Amino acid sequence: MKINSIRFKTSIFYSGILLAILGLFSVYLYATIHHILYQEVRQGLALKAGQIDAFIDAYADIATKDNLMNDYLSASDENAAPKWIINHLWEQDSKSLGLNNDYFRILSPRGRVRLRSDNMTNNIESIFAPQFPVHADQITFNHFQMNNSLYYGISYPFRFSNRNSFVLQLATPVDSVQQILSQSVLFMALGIVSILLITVFMGSFLTRRILKPVSEVTLTANNISQKNLHLRIPHEKLDHEMEELVNSFNRMIDRLEGSFAHINDFSSHVAHELKTPLAIIKTEMELALSKDNPPQEDKRVMKIALGEIDRLVRTIKDLLLLAKLEYKLNIFKMDEVEIIDFLRDIHQHSQILAEEKNINIELKLPDYPVFLDGDTVHLRRIFFNLLHNAIKFTPTNGSIEILAQVQDKQVVIRIKDTGIGIADTDKPHIFEKFFRVQRPDHEDVGGSGLGLCMAKTVARSHGGDITFESQLNKGTTFIVTLPITHLQRVFTQI
């Protein structure tokens, strides 16, 4: 597994999250166990202290013991005569309380020791005493280290025979509690390590399964070339996200396959368009060089060659312009254009082109200015291309109409002719590059076949479009729609 792979990063990421969660849970669990165990220790100490208090109070039920205990606890001298009797009695009672491993002592409110366990030596008491300040009015707990063991103790105030106040101090070892806590830490650490190892293994396995389609995408992408663009990645039984990825990749390959097919067709058309005039020029030049020709023949050959060269230059310019229009939209220089005056200017220039065929061009425009954002140079290219085609395919003495209307924040401009129309088989290809209408009943009018494609590209770059309606032998109407910015209606007051 590589360090910079998604599998590694995913495993580390989720393992880190799991480690943090397990760590926080372990701290919480340890704190809970610690609280519960020491709560039990405190409750046990309080219970033992209460039992000791009860045993001492029980002596009050026996007059002899009561007097002896009173004399002992109230004596000013710790070595008073009743001591051996009390010790004998207490030794028997302390065994029944299970105090063999505990240390305890009973103090007067002034801090004088009145009774202590047999195992509490002077050395031990010197360690024990500082841990428990004498409080005659409240129960307190404390823990301390003694003889390499940890003890937990209680200071417990009580009254004997409801007359005298005393303080019981009792300490019990908690090494077993610490051992339980240490074992809990060990078990939690081992559990965390085990869970992390299992998680890393399972995470790596699941990540490999999840990312399998990505590996297939990589393999397929490496195997795809121009010769096998038909390859696709199967998307059966995939997760939703991976299915979307695979479908997107397959759609991308579809687009690439279509682009390559388009490039191949485009290259074929370009080769054909360039080859034909070059072949004509070559043939005419070879004929001119093969024999001695009069000056008139040489002039004819040069005229034909110049015409074909002009055709080549126009085709190349159109190709370069079309490439810029499709891939460099920033070539447009947008300004505010008043489209009504713009169309009047187009109409005036187009009439000159139509005079040769005696074609009447009628203009119908709104009587108020209409403004839009556009590049006047390329907008002129749209309408001159459409009008030039209309003039070419309209017979002599025909008519053309230019009609502009404002509809739904758009200006709709129709260029309608009475020409030969477009066959149904040709309609899907009208805006394709290098497509030219071929009619056996009409002579070839020439052209590069790029004009309509460029016109549609320019219209779409301006936020509009070009469509058409046509009937064979009845005429064609090209419809240009462009978004307007605002109107300036003129109202005449009568």
State residue 88's pLDDT score: 53
Most confident of 136-140, 196-200, 413-417: 413-417
Written as six digits, the tokens of 36 are 């519960």
Query: Which pLDDT band holds residue 317 (cuts at 50, 70, 90)?
Result: confident
pLDDT digit string (tens) for 438-453?
A: 655 555 555 567 778 8
Q: Is the pLDDT of residue 327 over 60?
A: no
- Asked whether residue 106 is domain-assigned, the answer is yes
Query: Which pLDDT band holds residue 104 (cuts at 50, 70, 90)?
Result: confident
Together in a domain, 321 and 358: no
Of residues 492 and 281, the one with the higher pLDDT is 281
Radius of gyration of the chain measured on its C-alpha atoms? 53
- Asked whether residue 218 is domain-assigned, the answer is no
DSSP string, 6-62: HHHHHHHHHHHHHHHHHHHHHHHHHHHHHHHHHHHHHHHHHHHHHHHHHHHHHGGGS
Spatial CB neighbours of 166, under 8 Å, sequence gap ≥ 6? 73, 106, 107, 108, 109, 114, 157, 158, 159, 160
Q: What is the mean pLDDT of residues 89-118?
A: 74
- Asked whether residue 198 is domain-assigned, the answer is no
Together in a domain, 462 and 354: yes
Together in a domain, 289 and 338: no
pLDDT digit string (tens) for 231-264?
A: 777 766 666 667 777 788 888 888 887 777 767 7
Q: What is the mean pLDDT of residues 377-391?
A: 89
pLDDT digit string (tens) for 453-471?
A: 888 888 988 899 999 999 8
Query: Which pLDDT band holds residue 278 (cuts at 50, 70, 90)?
Result: confident
- Pick from 327, 357, 379: which residue ends a domain? 327
- Asked whether residue 201 is domain-assigned, the answer is no
Together in a domain, 316 and 355: no
Of residues 422 and 147, the one with the higher pLDDT is 422
State residue 25's pLDDT score: 92
Together in a domain, 354 and 244: no
Together in a domain, 363 and 248: no
- Asked whether residue 229 is domain-assigned, the answer is no
- Looking at 63-77, 278-292, 430-444, 472-486, which range is the least confident one? 63-77
Cβ pair 383, 458 in contact under 8 A:
no
Q: What is the mean pLDDT of residues 348-352?
A: 86
Cβ pair 310, 448 in contact under 8 A:
no
Q: How many CA atoms within 13 Å lie on the side-chain side of 214?
A: 9
- Looking at 144-148, 188-192, 358-362, 415-419, which range is the least confident one? 144-148
What is the count of structural domains for the chain? 3
State residue 4's pLDDT score: 65
Together in a domain, 311 and 340: no
Q: Are strands 113-116 and 410-417 parallel, antiparallel or unpaired?
A: unpaired
Q: CATH code at 365?
A: 3.30.565.10
Together in a domain, 319 and 450: no
Query: Which pLDDT band holds residue 82 (cuts at 50, 70, 90)?
Result: very low
- Looking at 102-116, 141-155, 187-201, which range is the least confident one? 102-116
Q: Are strands 149-160 and 360-364 parallel, antiparallel or unpaired?
A: unpaired
Q: What residues pair up with 146 in beta bridges, in sequence order? A: 149
The rounded mean pLDDT for the chain is 79
State residue 81's pLDDT score: 41
Q: What is the mean pLDDT of residues 47-70?
A: 65
Together in a domain, 312 and 375: no
- Asked whether residue 254 is domain-assigned, the answer is yes
Q: Is the pLDDT of residue 368 over 50?
A: yes
Query: Which pLDDT band holds residue 64 (cuts at 50, 70, 90)?
Result: very low
Q: What is the mean pLDDT of residues 16-37?
A: 91
State residue 441's pLDDT score: 56
Q: What residues pair up with 115 in beta bridges, in sequence order? A: 106
Together in a domain, 351 and 314: no
State residue 80's pLDDT score: 47
- Asked whether residue 206 is domain-assigned, the answer is no
Range of the domain at 154: 6-181
Query: Which pLDDT band holds residue 114 (cuts at 50, 70, 90)?
Result: confident
Q: Is the pLDDT of residue 48 over 80?
A: yes
State residue 275's pLDDT score: 73
Q: Is the pLDDT of residue 180 over 60?
A: yes
State residue 361's pLDDT score: 92
The contacts found for 21-25 with CB under 8 angstroms, 24 or more apart, are 22/191, 22/192, 22/195, 22/196, 23/192
Together in a domain, 35 and 175: yes
Query: Which pLDDT band holds residue 493 (cuts at 50, 70, 90)?
Result: very low
Instruction: State which amino acid sits at residue 414.
Output: R
State residue 3's pLDDT score: 66
Of residues 85 and 187, the one with the higher pLDDT is 187
pLDDT above 70 as % of the chain: 79
Q: What is the mean pLDDT of residues 99-128?
A: 81
Together in a domain, 314 and 364: no
State residue 27's pLDDT score: 92
- Asked whether residue 472 is domain-assigned, the answer is yes
Q: CATH code at 55?
A: 3.30.450.20
Spatial CB neighbours of 475, under 8 Å, sequence gap ≥ 6? 394, 416, 417, 418, 419, 421
C-alpha distances in angstroms, 150 versus 125, 146, 489?
Answer: 15, 6, 100
Helices vs strands, H then E, count in the chain:
11, 13
Q: What is the mean pLDDT of residues 392-406?
A: 92
